[in-house]
Structure formats: C-alpha cells, structure tokens
Amino acid sequence: MRRVLDIVFPVALAAVILGSWEWTIFHWQVPHYVLPAPSAIARAICANFASLMASLGSTLAVTLQAFAAATLLGVATAIGFSQSRLLERTFYPYAVILQVTPVVAIAPLILIWVGFERINLALVIIATLVAFFPILAGATLGLKSADFNLLDLARLHGASRLQILWRIRLPTALPYLLSGMKTAGGLALIGAVVAEFVAGSGTATGLAWRIVESGNRLEIATLFAALALLALTGVLIFAALSLLEWALLRRWHESAISEAA
Amino acid sequence: MTLLALSGIGKRFASTQKAGGVQALDDLSFAIQTGEFVSLLGPSGCGKSTALRLAAGLLTPDAGAVTFPHGKPEIGFVFQEPTLMPWADALTNTRLPLVLKSMPRREANARAAAALARVGLAGFERALPRELSGGMKMRVSIARALVAQPKLLLLDEPFAALDEITRNRLGDDLLRLWREDGLTVLFVTHSVSESAYLSERVLVMPPRPGRIAADIALPHSRDDRLSSVTIEAQRGINAALQAATA
Ligand SMILES: Nc1ncnc2c1ncn2[C@@H]1O[C@H](COP(=O)(O)OP(=O)(O)O)[C@@H](O)[C@H]1O
Ligand SMILES: [Mg+2]
C-alpha cells in the first residue's frame, strides 16, 4: 500500500503542476518563446523525436562511459589506498583538490589537450572527473570500515592480503560504494552536460548542445523538450542504481532491509 | 606437557589520555598444560583481552615472550561479540578458516556443516546472522572456531552479552566440546561463578597493569552449578579477587 502511495502522490502532484502550467499559459496568453505550454513541449518532442533520441543517445553514451570509468578508477584507487597508507597520504590531497576545483574551469583545457577531433573522449574525461570523487570517497571509507576483530580472525587463520581484501574488505565496502555510485550517477550526467556546453557548437551532438542550439533559435519548446529528457535520464539513472543497491543489499544490510519492510 | 607459556610479558599502548601510554600488562607470566580448561579472571580493563590476543599472536609483546614448547598449534578464537560477516550465511561464516586455508569447497562445506551440527545448529546453514538470536550467533562463532580442529581454544568473554539461561546452556556445551575433543581452553571472563563452574584452574588478575595475582586449582567435577564444591570454589576465587583488587 505504501509503495502504491509512493507513486500515486508524486504523479498526482505532477498532474496538478502540469495542469496549472497549461492553464496559466492559455489564460494569460504567455508567448511560446517565453514559456511554452506542456502540450507544446510534448508536440516538440513528437516533432523532433528522431533527432532528440539521437541526442539523448549521445549524452547517455558519454554519461555511462564516464560513470563506468569513474567507478573503475575510483574503486581501483580506493583499493590502492587500502593497501598502502603511504599511497593514501600522498595522493588523497590531490583527489580532494580535483574534487574542489570546478571542472568547468579545466574543461576547456581538456578539450584543447585531447583535441576536438576526439571530442567524445574529451567529453567522457570531463564527465569522469566530475563523477570520480564520490566513488573514491565511498569506497575508501567502506574498505576501512571492516570489523577489526574479523580482520584479526582472518590473520589468525593465515589469510593473505588479497584474501582479506576479497572476503572481508570488499563486501564490507559494498554499501558505501553503492551509495557513492548513486551520487556519481547523477554527477556523470551533469558532467556530460557541462562538457557539451563547453565544447560548444557543431562538435557535440548531445542534449545539452540541443539546449544551446534551440535557445539561440528561440525554439523554446524544443529547449524544454531536451531539458525534460535530461531530467528523465537523471531520474532513470538514479532509479537503476537504487534498484541495483536494493538487489545487492536487501538480504543483509540494514539500509535495504528497512526499506523493504 | 606445557602447551603455551607466557613469561615476563609487558605490553604498553599509546593513549590519548595519558602521556607515555597505558601499561596494560607488566611482567605477566603463566603456563597452560595440554588439555586444561583455564579461566583468566579479572576486572574490566585489567588486560585480559590483551593477554589473549598476545597468546594468539595477534599482538607482539614489548617485553617477555609467548612460547609454544611443542610447536604452535592450530588456534580457535571466539570474541565477545559473535563477529560474523553479516552478508554471509551461517555455513559461509563457519567455513571461513577453511576457505582461508584454500581447502576445496566441498570438503570445507561438509566440515562446516558438521561443526554447526555439533553446536546444535543443524538446519540453520543458510540462515543469515540477522535471522539468528544472540545465542545462536555465538554458537556460529564457536562452530567457526572449532571448524579447523584447533588444539587450543581462546575465548574472550564469549557469553558476557547473553542472558543467564543462554549463557548456562552454552557453558555446558563448551564443557562437552572440551571433553569430546580433548581441547585446551583459555577462557577469559569477569564472572566468578562462570570461572568456578567451568574451569579446572583460575588465574586471577588484579587491576591494571595486568599480571597473575593468584593461580587457583579447582579439583572438583563440573556437573552442578550449585553443588557445595562449586560454591566453595566461588568463595575461594572471590577471596583471591578481593585480595588482588584491594
Ligand atoms: N589497541 C589498544 N590501544 C590502546 N589501548 C588499549 C588497546 N587495547 C587495550 N588497551 C588498553 O589496555 C588496557 C587493558 O585492556 P584489555 O586487555 O582490553 O582489558 P580487559 O579485556 O581485561 O577488559 C585498557 O586500559 C585498555 O584501554
Ligand atoms: Mg576485554
């Protein structure tokens, strides 16, 4: 029952908002180039369906590649940190600097270095930098959170570092990692959008570029259509990662158990 | 035959409270014979856990030495908390020591199932720790300690967090396992009655820094918690403890 209500209430809210939006535009005769009605946005989606889907595919590809790269790099770095205090002490400050530096500021540099002929790679690198830190932070914390007594027990029975990592540290880290991945999924999309904005005309073909382009042409309905697709993509990424989290943790971890109950 | 000897052990820990650190153990010496059931009794903070972890080789002493005159035996360790992997079922938790030794999975599973059966948990192989009661979790922990067929079993206040009924039942089970396997047991506790009922010998430790204040042999048969012999043993242990803490 609660699950049903979890869906019914937000959907009802959306209906109310869209309805009053439509009515406001109609009643006050708001020009479509200022704010288009939801129906106009829907028409824009239908009219440009094929090209919008192509743009969505392009942005989604960058996002997913960046997310996968950030996950691999973040977990690998965290494992490195967990094996060597020296490594962690040396590199963690730089990871933090990377995190606090606005990536928009270094995006033009990356584009120049990688080159516009390899625009896709440049976009992926920028989005990866944006998504990397939550994965690293989550995995690092998780790998450190193993029960000290359990680690002692493993050592007592002659466990190797690799066995301890695989049998105890990594499973302990899983909930922390998944939580970092949920944050990183949204950030990868933001990173992809920012990268497209910076890359600018002609070279990038994703949804962010469609927003810039339709803004320049005052096709505000198309702009909103691209925006809606971006928001929907973000929601779907979050939902997919939440589902993954639930599937992996539901049997044993408090966070997932209380959700299911 | 001496299985384990600690001689002149000193151990100091760094501390945020005290400059120069905390002297947890100072000149601690005792020996344990093969097949004995020995309790290490003392107030909280006196260094019992430290002594046990030293015996297991999980800590190294600052002074003195831990020796196994006839070679280091296979050791089983039971913590105060069950210390199970929450993501793994009872069987997987129990077989951990065997898996770490790279025993083939089939054999490890068979031995783990047998160990679970010995502690009364047959049929609970697939249960996750969160589905088990406190006493059952402790039983899994004991099964895990026994699965690699240790000669020496070290227990650190294993029943302290359990209710009295469960505690008594587990104590009796521990005695049975000790007799059946010819184990050597070093049992850390802060309960006088538990040490009096379970053990053949009680080592009394004073407050920090830990050493042995009294070594009391209990030559009675362990079959009744309230027999006059057991009660008499409690009196003796109590007196030694009071003398040590005064
Ligand atoms: N890893 C540690 N770091 C710092 N101090 C410790 C550590 N382990 C134990 N101690 C200190 O050593 C003393 C003895 O501890 P412990 O052996 O756990 O006592 P017991 O098990 O008898 O309660 C205590 O004062 C405790 O604070
Ligand atoms: Mg203790």
What's the pLDDT score for residue B211?
Answer: 85
Mind listing the pLDDT tens digit for each residue in A140-192? 999 999 999 999 999 999 999 999 999 999 999 999 999 999 999 999 999 99
Most confident listed range (B13-27, B78-92, B198-212, B228-242): B78-92
DSSP conformation class of B187: E
Report chain B residues whose CB lies below 8 A from the CB of A146.
none
Question: What class has domain A49-260?
Answer: mainly alpha
Of A173, A63, A252, A105, residue with least CA distance to B87:
A252
What is this structure's pTM? 0.88
Residue A53 has pLDDT above 90, yes or no: yes
pLDDT band per the 50, 70, 90 thresholds, residue B176: very high
Confidence of residue B242 (pLDDT cuts 50, 70, 90): confident
Q: Does the structure show a pLDDT above 60 at B205?
A: yes
pLDDT of residue B21: 85
Residue B50 beta carbon below 6 angstroms from any ligand 1 atom: yes
Distances (CA, A) of B7 to A75, B53, B55, B66, B68: 45, 15, 11, 7, 11
* Mutation pick for ligand 1 pocket among B15, B17, B22 (CB with most ligand atoms within 8 Å): B22
Phi-psi group of B187: left, alpha or beta (phi > 0 → left; psi -120 to 50 → alpha; rest → beta): beta
pLDDT greater than 60 at residue A261: no
With CA atoms as reference, the chain B residue closest to A249 would be B87
Q: Is B13 in the pocket of ligand 1 (CB under 6 A)?
A: yes
Q: Lowest mean pLDDT of A31-40, B2-11, B17-26, B200-209, name the range.
A: B17-26
Range B54-72 average pLDDT: 93
State residue A145's pLDDT score: 95
- List the residue whose alpha carbon is closest to atom 21 of ligand 1: B49
Predicted ipTM? 0.91
Mean pLDDT within B202-222: 85
Q: Where are the domains of chain A?
A: 49-260
Mean pLDDT taken over chain A: 91
- Mean residue pLDDT across chain B: 92
Cβ of B53 less than 6 Å from ligand 1: no
Inter-chain CB proximity B57 and A156 less than 8 Å: yes
Contacts of B88 in chain A (CB under 8 A): 171
Q: Which residues of B touch A (CB under 8 A)?
A: 53, 56-58, 75, 77, 79, 81, 83, 85-88, 96-97, 99-101, 128-130, 148
Residue A260 above 50 pLDDT?
no
Other Cβ atoms within 10 Å of B111 Cβ, number: 19
Of A147, A153, A167, the CB nearest to B77: A153
Please give the domain boundaries of chain B with CATH numbers for all domains: 2-73+151-245 (3.40.50.300), 84-148 (no CATH)
What tens digit of pLDDT does each residue of B87-142 get? 999 999 999 999 999 999 999 999 999 999 999 999 999 999 999 999 999 999 99
Query: Looking at residue B118, what is its pLDDT?
Result: 93
- Is the torsion defined by CA of B50, B54, B56, B59 positive or negative? positive
Q: What residues of chain A lie within 8 A of the CB of B79, using their CB?
A: 149, 153
SS3 label, residue B27: strand
- CA dihedral angle for residue A58, residue A61, residue A64, residue A67, rounded to 10 degrees: -70
| pLDDT class of B240 with cuts at 50, 70, 90 | confident
Q: How confident is the model at residue A135 (pLDDT cuts 50, 70, 90)?
A: very high
Eight-class DSSP state of A116: G
Q: Quick check: CB of B12 below 6 Å from ligand 1?
A: no
The SS3 call for residue A172 is helix
Reported as a single tens digit per residue, the pLDDT across A68-84 is 999 999 999 999 999 99
Average pLDDT score over residue span B48-60 = 94
Q: Whose CA is nearest to atom 7 of ligand 1?
A: B13
Which amino acid type is present at position A195?
A: A
Cα B233 to ligand 1 centroid, rounded to whole Å: 28
Answer whether B44 contacts ligand 1 (Cβ < 6 A): yes
| Amino acid B161: pLDDT | 87
Q: Which residue has the tokens 């003392």?
A: B42
